[in-house]
Amino acid sequence: MTQRKNVFFADINVHGTAIEIAEAKYGLSIVRAIDVMPGETLDPVLLAYAVENDYVMLTGNFKDFPKIAEQWIAEGKTHGGLLIISKKHIKNPVLIAEWLALYEDEDLTNREEWI
């Protein structure tokens, strides 16, 4: 049985070039929040959308999303995973794309991973 490939849901904090590289070079599936929701959408709503669509949340918002995901789990909810790009790497699109490729086949349920 083959495991399902992750689909990533990138918020506005993720560099567009990283998404382009990840899709072109690694064939990853990435949905950009800006393409499906208004730009001012609140972070908890973004996480809920990712969960509803079985996406892995991808963000550069390292200040708010860990707390939101922690609260989500404390409420007994499950999410598909949270990938957080640290301030140190947020402007390195090649590294971000490579990192995403490594997580394409990982079960990230309720996990929080940092780069």
Write out pLDDT tens, residues 71-112.
Answer: 999 999 999 999 999 999 999 999 999 999 999 999 999 999
Residues in the chain: 115
Q: What is the pLDDT of residue 40?
A: 87
Alpha-carbon gap, residue 57 to 54, rounded angstroms: 9
Question: Which one-letter DSSP state was computed for residue 46?
Answer: H
What is the predicted pLDDT for the residue at 23? 97
27 contact partners, CB below 8 Å, separation of at least 6: none
Residues 9-59: pLDDT tens digits? Answer: 999 989 889 999 999 999 999 999 999 998 889 999 999 999 999 999 999
Q: Helices 93-103 and 16-26: crossing angle, nearest 10°?
A: 50
- Residue 2 is predicted with a pLDDT of 55
Which pTM does this prediction carry? 0.93
Q: Give CA torsion, residues 35, 8, 42, 85, to 10 deg.
A: -120
- Smallest CA-to-CA distance from 82 within 93, 68, 95, 92 is with 68
What pLDDT score was predicted for residue 89? 92
Output the pLDDT for position 39: 81
Domain 7-114 architecture: 3-Layer(aba) Sandwich (3.40)
What are the residue boundaries of the structural domains of the chain, listed by start? Answer: 7-114
How high is the pLDDT of residue 3? 65
pLDDT value, residue 93: 96
**Tokens 């940092």 sit on residue:** 114
Tell me how crowded residue 82 is: count the other CB atoms within 10 A of its CB. 23
Question: Which pLDDT value is given to residue 106?
Answer: 94
